[in-house]
Amino acid sequence: MYDIRPHEIAVPIPAPDDARLYFIGRIHTPWNDRKDCPRQGRTDGPECRIEIFEPWVPALQGIEDYESVEVLYWLNKARRDLIVQNPSHSERTYGTFALRSPVRPNPIGTVLAKLISVDGPNLIVRGLDCLNGTPLIDLKPDRCAFSPKAPPKP
Amino acid sequence: MYDIRPHEIAVPIPAPDDARLYFIGRIHTPWNDRKDCPRQGRTDGPECRIEIFEPWVPALQGIEDYESVEVLYWLNKARRDLIVQNPSHSERTYGTFALRSPVRPNPIGTVLAKLISVDGPNLIVRGLDCLNGTPLIDLKPDRCAFSPKAPPKP
């Protein structure tokens, strides 16, 4: 658990239960300790593997048409009660929503990853920065490359 | 509830409970019926209001420094069990992860919105496409404009 730093502000919060998630897969990266993770993924970073669990594997059909995919994952080790943070003792504090820190009320990370290949339930990608074993919650085509498949509305 | 279309595939799934979410706010848009929502938000679209709930309002500190913010929201009316979809009777089917459809195992929408102004618990933005009243689950600085506030790792 991340400890609180000087000038950080935590708030009392109830247990969350407004909505519930499925873990639909698992992300395999070279980083087994938080201190080893890069602060931001780079598309020239190492290849990582995204494993999709059943029954979701057929939902990958067509994803190979995209050069980049948006990956949503669950930062299951992050505390959720900080509203103001002090990133590694920087000179000032920031509100949680002005940071991309894993510490946030709903610890969801998003990244745009470069899609290298798809093989059955596995995607090989570059550009991730999360811990090995991180739970996957969604995959979408890059919004910039995606055109709606249904006709425009009148 | 969205009905299933020809050639779509639904799978039996248990109730989700791998992780739980807070609704941290609510999104106010001009669209009260799904058929009126644009298929994709546009930064020249109408101004919309994102309302943050307590105790999270102080977590906005510093967000006004960004021209665009990533908005994550919960598509609470979408079914979650389709793995293959047929977008408005298009000519072929697509896997759910090759679409940005609201119908997905974890119905989380993401959009990059243009930040117009911040006033207390309210943000005025452009570029949304969701229904009026949609629950908010996260706000982050645009990843392209954001630099980590902590020093680079050695």
Burial class of A55 by CB neighbour count within 10 A (0 to 12, 13 to 18, 19+): middle
Q: Are A64 and A139 in contact (CB under 8 A)?
A: no
| For residue B46, cis peptide bond before it (omega within 30 degrees of 0) | no
Q: Which pLDDT score is estimated for B151?
A: 67
Please state the rounded mean pLDDT for residues B58-84.
96
Q: Are B75 and B100 in contact (CB under 8 A)?
A: no
CA-nearest residue to A89 within chain B is: B150
Those of residues 93-112 in A touching chain B at CB distance below 8 A are: 93-100, 104-106, 108, 110-112
| B38 contacts in chain A (CB < 8 Å) | 153
Q: Are B107 and B75 in contact (CB under 8 A)?
A: yes
Q: Are A41 and A22 in contact (CB under 8 A)?
A: no
- Asked if the Cβ–Cβ distance from B152 to A60 is below 8 Å, we say no
Distances (CA, A) of A129 to A66, B71, B79: 20, 20, 31
pLDDT band (50, 70, 90) for residue A154:
low
Where are the domains positioned within chain A?
A: 9-141
Please state the rounded mean pLDDT for residues B108-129.
97
Q: pTM of the prediction?
A: 0.94
Q: Are A101 and A141 in contact (CB under 8 A)?
A: no
Q: Does position B89 have pLDDT exceeding 70, yes or no?
A: no
Q: What is the CA radius of gyration of chain B?
A: 17
Q: Does position A5 have pLDDT exceeding 80, yes or no?
A: yes
- Asked if the Cβ–Cβ distance from B83 to A21 is below 8 Å, we say no
pLDDT tens across B2-20, in order? 688 889 999 999 999 999 9
Q: Does position B1 have pLDDT exceeding 60, yes or no?
A: no
- Asked if the Cβ–Cβ distance from B40 to A148 is below 8 Å, we say yes
DSSP string, A96-139: GGGS--S-SSS-EEEEEEEEEEEETTEEEEE---SPTTEEEEEE
- Specify the CATH superfamily of domain B9-141: YaeB-like (2.40.30.70)
Q: Does position A123 have pLDDT exceeding 70, yes or no?
A: yes
Q: Which pLDDT score is estimated for B107?
A: 98
Q: How far is Cα B124 from Cα B126, in angstroms, rounded to an integer?
A: 7
Of B13, B17, B97, the CB nearest to A63: B97
CA-nearest residue to B149 within chain A is: A87
B120 and A CB contact within 8 Å:
no
**Tokens 């990958």 appear where?**
A60
Those of residues 27-46 in B touching chain A at CB distance below 8 A are: 35, 38-40
Give percent above pLDDT 70 in chain B: 95
A67 and B CB contact within 8 Å:
no
pLDDT band (50, 70, 90) for residue B146:
confident
